[in-house]
Amino acid sequence: MKRIDHAEVTIKAFRAIDDFELCRKFIEGHERVLTSIGIEKITSSDYSWTQNPASYVVICMSKDGERVFGGARVHVCGGNQELPFIKGVIEMDDSVPAKVDEKKHGGTGELCGLWNSMEVAGMGIGAIYVVRATVAIISQLGINSCFALCSPQGARISMRFGFQIRRDIGNNGTFYYPKHDLLATMVCLDDASQLSFTPEGEREKIMELRENTNLQVLEESRGKTADIQYDLEIASVDKSVYDLGV
C-alpha cells in the first residue's frame, strides 16, 4: 500500500451501539493491521463491544467516509462487559480487578483498540491526533481516569497526553502481551477532567477540542500534513450503565 504525505480526514466520535456500520469499518481496518504484524486475536478485538452501551469509538476516515485510516475506543467500566485488558492480563496479575475497583469512584475506563493503517504511517494519525481526540471526549463521558495497555513506544507517546506508568501492576508495569515475545506497558490517565499531569502545550490542544468539538485544523508531523475535521460531539452518553463502585 502506497503511503501518502497529505490527507484530508474526519475524526469522529460516537457510541458504538449507535452506528454499527462505522463499527464494522473500524473492525475491518483494525483486523488488517493486526494480521499484518502476525496477531490473529486479542481481547480488545472481541467484537461484542459493538453491543456494549458503555463503549465509545473514535474513528479517522476520509471525508467521504469510504476509507478508514485508524481509530481507538474508550470502554467505560460498566455496560455489559469488563474492561478488555482485565481478561488479557489477569492470569499474569490477579490483583488487576482490585486496582480497577480503586478507580471506579469517579468513573474509570480503558483506552484500547488504537490503530492506524500503513497508508498514513508517519503522519501522526494514530500516535497523536486520534489519541488527542480520544482524551478530549473523556470529558463528555464523565469519567476521571482511564487505563491503557500499550507497546513500549506507545507508553512513551502516552506520557505526552498525561498517562503515567502503573508500576504496581504486572512486572513494574509490564506484561508479555498479546504474544509471549511482545512487551506491553500498563499506563493510566488520572485527573482526566482537568489533565493535571498533561504537559501544557498538549493540554491546551485537548481543552480546545473539548470546548469546540467541531473544529477544522491543519496538522503537520514529520513533514506530512493532515487537514482534519474533528467531529467529536457524541450524540448519546448513558451514564446510568456505568459501574462506579460502592
Q: What is the model's pTM?
A: 0.91
pLDDT at 42 exceeding the cut of 60: no
The predicted pLDDT at position 91 comes to 85
Cell numbers 470502554 correspond to what residue? 75
Is 175 among the domain residues?
yes
- The tally of domains found in the chain comes to 1
CA distance 183 to 190: 23
Is 125 among the domain residues?
yes
The predicted pLDDT at position 88 comes to 84
Q: Tell me how far apart the terminal alpha carbons of the chain are, to the nearest angstrom.
A: 50
User: Contact at 8 Å (CB) between 20 and 50?
Assistant: yes
Strand partners, 74: 56, 111
- Domain of 46, CATH number, reads 3.40.630.30
Q: 36 pLDDT band (50/70/90 cuts)?
A: low
The predicted pLDDT at position 211 comes to 97
pLDDT at 44 exceeding the cut of 60: no
Domain containing 80 equals 6-236
Tell me: the pLDDT tens digits for 139-174? Answer: 999 999 999 999 888 899 999 999 999 999 999 999
Is 208 among the domain residues?
yes
Is 241 among the domain residues?
no
Helical ranges in 57-180 per DSSP H: 84-89, 96-104, 130-141, 152-158
User: Contact at 8 Å (CB) between 107 and 143?
Assistant: yes
